[in-house]
Amino acid sequence: MSLEPRRQTIPAILLVKTAFQLLWQQRDDALRLGLVPVLLLFGGTLYATDAIITLYSVAQSGVLTELPPGVSGPLLIFALAGLVAVCLLMVNWLRFLLLGPMGAVGIGLSIGSAHVRFLLAAIAFMAGLFVALIILGLPLAFLPRGLAMLGNMVAFAIVAVLAARFLPFLIGRAIGQSMTLAQSWSVSRGNAVPLAVSLILVQIPFWIAIMALELVLSVTGFMMMAPTGTMFIFAMVQVAVWLCLAGVMATAYRHMVGVRV
């Protein structure tokens, strides 16, 4: 498959705006496809609550050298539940936005090869980014603290842009339009920075909303009286974040690559 990059750069603000518009316009389908991921994330959090609290307390008290007894199992379940939830939602929402309603039917439990391909590619993708971040961060350990912090910010920006260059490859796995890493690098030329920036910007309203919501729930006593309900609310907010991230990715992919039907 021969893919040529589209030379026109799409503005980051337009990507963010479109993601929110898609979430609102397709809210019924967002609720439909977001139900199972919310339940998975909520269930994993509920199961690992005690382990998370224990780990946080130990980390606050001093240097954490090893996990406390009984913590690793629940944390693993929590991590697996979150991974399955985000991959299930991302694939279904990407397929819905790019392939149409028949790309993700029902409540999104029709798991197929696209979900498996996306999951494996996402794991390798995140592992590669983690390694890149470590490699870039190693020389920074020898710098003064102020310069090291600045260097870490630069390293994060570089890794974010690199990630954006390979996102078309990842999205292609979800919708059955496979491409090579070289093709992904080529088609994303000129749009990597706006895409990376938009993936950060689209989360800012949710960060503000979460802080405000946490404050309100804490002041009103709801968080203490109904901790389970609070966890469910935050699970819904997190899924909304993932939906908007997938919306940005789908919009950028349609612009950079297009969709074969």
Cα–Cα distance measured from residue 187 to residue 6, given in angstroms and rounded to the nearest whole number:
7
Cα–Cα distance measured from residue 212 to residue 148, given in angstroms and rounded to the nearest whole number:
31
Cα–Cα distance measured from residue 212 to residue 182, given in angstroms and rounded to the nearest whole number:
43
Residue 144, classed as helix, strand or coil, is coil
User: Per residue in 195-249, pLDDT tens?
Assistant: 999 999 999 999 999 999 889 888 888 888 888 888 999 999 999 999 999 999 9
Q: Determine the pLDDT at residue 119.
A: 92
Token pair in block for residue 224: 């203490």
> Which single residue is written with the structure tokens 């990630």?
163
Residue 248 CB: number of other CB atoms within 10 A? 26
Percent helix, strand, coil in the chain, to 5, is 80, 0, 20
The pTM is what? Answer: 0.89
Given a contact cutoff of 8 angstroms between Cβ atoms, the answer to whether 87 and 115 are in contact is yes
Q: What angle do CA 154, 158, 160 make, to 5 degrees?
A: 115
Cα–Cα distance measured from residue 134 to residue 204, given in angstroms and rounded to the nearest whole number:
26
User: Per residue in 147-194, pLDDT tens?
Assistant: 878 888 888 888 999 999 999 999 999 998 888 999 999 999 889 999
Please state the domain extents for the chain: 12-256
Q: Determine the pLDDT at residue 111.
A: 86
Token pair in block for residue 83: 């991974």
